[in-house]
Structure 1
Amino acid sequence: MTLLSWRHTLWLVLSITSLLSLTSAHMIEVGASRKECFFEDLHEHDQMTVTYQVGEGGHLDIDFWLTDPENNIIAKHIRQSTGTSAMTAEKDGRYEYCFSNQMSTVADKMVSFNVHGIIYVPEDADIIAPVEREIRSLAIGLTSVKDEQEYIVVRERRHRDTAESTCDRVKWWSVLQTLVLFAVVAWQVYYLKSFFEVKRVI
């Protein structure tokens, strides 16, 4: 490998390392009848992916949309519990994405989301070595694995909460059944005892 190729490889590794450090994971609470918006400044041909999951609140659904610098809607999801939106910037500017809970007037929603991007680097077949392409491919695969892990964590927490809630309901239902059983037994004993009581005739 030539010195020029080594320099390109080193530059690519440093770029990917900085990109991975820019990959962000957030947990936000979206109040009832409210929305939360965020933005990213991108250049033409940059790529951005937003992955989200609703962990708590209501029917575990949220509205999501992504707009370009001219406020055109690129992606829109209505009442989804989880979703992924990937896009490639067609122009320089500020790209905005929002989570809306305006359909709910009571329940707050907890939303976990990840944002990661790939900065566009022009490829020259005579310069970029196969190892550099492999590094890029590994970086993309790593972000996918990270998203999947965080999705599994959110699902595990949701299932654990459901199991604990079901356990509590079963416990209190058993307590109620026991109380009703004792009440019915006490009433039957009292009722049967009244049959054997001798009433004095005056």
Structure 2
Amino acid sequence: MEKSKSFLLLCIICAFCLIIFPKSLEGTSLTYNVAANERACFYAWADKPGEKVAFYFAVQTGGSFDIDYIVTDPRGKHVISGDRERQGDYVFTANYVGEYSFCFSNDMSTFAEKLVDFEISIENEPRAELPPSKGITPDQTSSMEESCLRLSSSLSTVSRTQKYFRTRENRNFSTVKSTENRIFWFAILESAVIVGMAAVQVFVIKTFFNTTKRGHV
């Protein structure tokens, strides 16, 4: 019973510390419609060397669901880049203080717009120490910290999985919508061809009988 009370008290202390001493994290989650032949850039600032930069993107709709991207550091050097990628999930270390640019290019498309869902986050998370508490041993504290870290990793995995399924759902919906439009216009064209052929047949038959009557006369 005493262990359960100590564990519950430790959970309360951890939650309190997370609220009072939040981790240093800056993030941006956006959805942007990249027009044809457009180059769109977004920026994030790293305050000090060694910060972790997470970059995630996924093309939701448009064309073949692919886009060119490039990440540049404050010196103008390329950190990561790719051509005709559908989605990406990268983490790299910001070795220099300054502004990092994240650019999407839709130069390969002449008319198709690309809807891109992306997220940029810069994180520098020092491991906080819990204040000492009566009845809680250092081993229990360490075990609780490891459990919290595993839980955080699991939640991050769940979040990535949800984004993946969201991307698949949007792409499948776009494919179904495109297929429906193609079937609709094909049916319209087929109906127009049938009507046109019927009109031609009527005209040919009418012309044939008119010629026959004139021959008998």
Q: What residue number does 1:27 align with?
A: 31
Amino acid at match of 2:45: E
The equivalences for 1:1-202 within 5 A come to: 9-10=14-15, 13-14=18-19, 22-31=26-35, 32-90=37-95, 93-101=97-105, 103-104=107-108, 106-107=110-111, 108-122=113-127, 129-196=142-209, 197-199=212-214
Aligned-pair CA distance for 1:11: 6.4
Aligned-pair CA distance for 1:165: 2.0
Aligned-pair CA distance for 1:80: 1.1
Matched position secondary structure for 2:213: coil
Please report the RMSD computed on the Cα atoms of aligned residues, expressed in angstroms: 3.5
Using the alignment, how far apart are the partners of 2:117 and 2:60 within structure 1? Answer: 7
How many residues get paired?
A: 197
Aligned-pair CA distance for 1:200: 5.4
Q: Do the aligned partners of 2:23 and 2:126 also contact (CA within 8 Å) in 1? A: no
**C-alpha distance after superposition, 1:134-159 (max 9, x if no partner):** 21232233233223323322332232
Aligned-pair CA distance for 1:61: 2.5
Q: Do the aligned partners of 1:30 and 1:99 also contact (CA within 8 Å) in 2? A: no
Aligned-pair CA distance for 1:36: 0.8
- Change beyond 3 A, Cα 1:68–1:60: same
Q: Do the aligned partners of 1:33 and 1:104 also contact (CA within 8 Å) in 2? A: no
**C-alpha distance after superposition, 1:58-99 (max 9, x if no partner):** 4432222334444443322222121111113445x2351312
Q: Structure 2: state its 5+ residue gaps.
A: 1-5, 130-137
Matched position secondary structure for 2:65: coil
Amino acid at match of 1:40: W
Q: Do the aligned partners of 1:47 and 1:119 also contact (CA within 8 Å) in 2? A: yes
**C-alpha distance after superposition, 1:8-27 (max 9, x if no partner):** 8356533786568x543101
Using the alignment, how far apart are the partners of 2:76 and 2:16 within structure 1? Answer: 34
Matched position secondary structure for 2:79: strand
Matched position secondary structure for 2:184: helix
TM-score, normalising length from structure 1? Answer: 0.74
Q: What residue number does 2:135 align with?
A: none
Identity across matched positions, percent: 21
- Change beyond 3 A, Cα 1:79–1:97: farther
Q: Do the aligned partners of 1:45 and 1:120 also contact (CA within 8 Å) in 2? A: no
